[in-house]
Amino acid sequence: MDFHEKRIPIIKIHDYLIVSIQVDMHDKLAIQLQSQILEEIARTRAKGVLIDISVLEMVDSFIGRMLSGMASMAAIMDTSVVIVGMQPAVAITLVELGLEMPGVDTALNMEKGMEMLESRLNNRKQDFF
């Protein structure tokens, strides 16, 4: 199986990157996605990343750690990451696994995630002026 066939698209809209995960994640794909997103952040100078996991029905500890790791990595690169659309079952699994993902922002859906990023960006701009 060729991983390049299964690349997860990263879409840039204004200052944001939108990543919609629509396939079942396996470990290699997760690692690949992580570096892919970080490279894309550096290349586009995005201010925020929205990761939509609403179709994911299973998140194991590896993917969970990957997601929270990515949030902290992006934070060092001065970009905020918002994870949107987590399923209740996934949330319960993560909490049972003890992966409470501190420091990761979450939103119910893409719209609310976008609002969250916008308000954050605005705060930054207001601080500047």
Partner 1 sequence: MSEILNVQKAKERIDRIEDILASVAAGDLDARIQSDIEDDFTGIEAAIDLLINDLTEELRQREKMQKELENKLSKIQEQQKTILQQQEDLLELSSPVSKVWDNILILPVIGTLDSQRTQVMMENLLQKIVDTGCTISILDITGVPTVDTQVANHLLKTVTAARLLGAECIISGISPAIAQTIVHLGIDLSAIRTKATLQDAMIFAMKQNKRADEIRTLSHIVIPNEKPD
Does residue 94 bind partner 1 (CB under 8 A)?
yes
| 3-state SS string for the chain | CCHHHHCCCEEEECCEEEEECCCCCCHHHHHHHHHHHHHHHHHHCCCEEEEECCCCCCCCHHHHHHHHHHHHHHHHCCCEEEEECCCHHHHHHHHHCCCCCCCCEEECCHHHHHHHHHHHHHHHHHHHC
Does 95 participate in binding partner 1 (rule CB under 8 A)?
yes
Query: Does residue 115 belong to the site contacting partner 1 (CB under 8 A)?
Result: yes
Q: To the nearest whole angstrom, how small is the minimum distance from the Cβ of residue 5 to partner 1? A: 31
Closest contact distance (angstroms) between CB of 88 and partner 1 is 3
Q: Report if residue 112 touches partner 1, rule: CB under 8 A.
A: yes
Which listed residue (1, 5, 88, 127) binds partner 1 by CB under 8 A? 88
List interacting residues with partner 1 (CB under 8 A): 83-88, 90-92, 94-96, 100-101, 106-109, 112-113, 115, 118-119, 122, 125
